[in-house]
Structure 1
């Protein structure tokens, strides 16, 4: 099947819209007519760091309409509206224990994409989807059926970044009503965490970032206090706001000095959850030990997409998760402009519309 796709020709080069062949559908796969795809920081890494083997097709926050189903697919049918999330094997111990985001085959299934140059066929797909394209071939395990009254283009970014931030707060940190949460880095993931903390009923929700425009939006989405960390001792300011530090921290930065400030801002027995995978820390862990605190890493907020994405949509419809406030739409052909505006910070969550 011939499709249009935004191809990464070589590492670090701009996208090129061109024709690519999609493989034949498998028995447990579906073909999706892609309506939209969000752009996430991981797509930037895929383009620029050698994560994938170019030429490749990136994109991992797809949404669209099922065009065809494999012979063994039973829960999905042609015409279903769907969001596509990460891939998992469904067979390892972690998948069986309902932790698909920590699938033992996660890297193999998600962190690759390649076009066979002899046949021009997309032989491996980014996050099992490669949604920077007009059509996507996806295993049924990646797919989340959603109500047809939900705007598909708006729903697209729920498949990764927004799911990650919200689920890390609600399912990993699990803050009690009346507790305190600090979010370091309020891009799309951090802002999703802010909204989730408000849903959880947190009393103090503190947003920390370098950009005033993001902090202003964080306040509108639920932050009770904001800190521009450029010229402020963040830990001292958080302790001043709360009187004793925060019980929960979401870190989206992975920067040593930021995580150190997060540790210093913890209350006794506080917990930091980090969603960043491409960094190593050099921090004074003795401070963490003295506080009885902990740091936990998480992939996708340990979410089960088929359960959590409909939950987020329900919150959105009730006005409790207004993530549309951070989205800007672009035509598919504007993909390089969308990436540029995401990287310079002028846009928080770009979403491509395939028409």
Structure 2
């Protein structure tokens, strides 16, 4: 079947790389989504393993729809009852862009009516109580082409389940994971986040370092679908547990000037089962003392709003730049809405990459230091 992994703008190539690492090569990258081919097990694996995607959708079909009649008949022709049982709950969500059918509520109503008619034919019933498993249908209209999907994920994949508390303006787990994947960090290298807030970057790094599937601690609505046998989900979860490498030593640290933020970070790490693997401390950026060689700063410095004024934010950036200058073998990856980070640091970045922190356009400034020397292969 064709599946769709949705993601924030700018992360498409990272999600595509993750899918390839899972073994799914047949794909097409588009704005905000990656189409790929897979079976029932692919649904489970993608939900458990993708660190930078938002949702996994089943593409039920696409067709031209410039009128409500075309939308109704196109929807009715799809085999949605193959997935939705007689007691299934099937709400309809929608969006429309550059299409003649611009009223989203009207489109949702038409699709709902068409699905009900198809369900009547399949199940020989006139009324559906919708008390069973949940199947969220989405109708997406773009340039007069309707795409109908079923959501297998439920709450976005960034909701891993370990973050019970949050600080002000927390970084999404998916974006934190993307920053780590865009760096060249490996578990044998130190990682330090001097503005760790609620600890998202260090926790995501530890999950990656130990090869823990980010979705392993949460549930998904598709786990309750009769069309996806229990043994498929069990197989995917057993695979994930077998692949955990919790014997790998980690050198991951985070600090913040806010004691309350550090308490939240410690709680998140403990909830993720990583409380003993990450070192958190309350310390201003000017006094941090990273240890080790070939380490990585991976951080999202607070913007002016969080610090109270813009000058304070600029001062902390300068302080971090001064410390980075003293660490000749280290790399740095700094996400910031300012486009002139090098104005506060003494050198230009190796690369820049546009990313979105929610709706805020940011730049990931990438300063690549030397890689650790390769270890000689054992004879």
Q: Do the two structures share a fold, i.e. TM-score over 0.5? A: no
**Structure with the higher strand share, 1 or 2:** 1
TM-score, scaled to structure 2: 0.35
Larger Rg over CA atoms: 2
TM-score, scaled to structure 1: 0.37
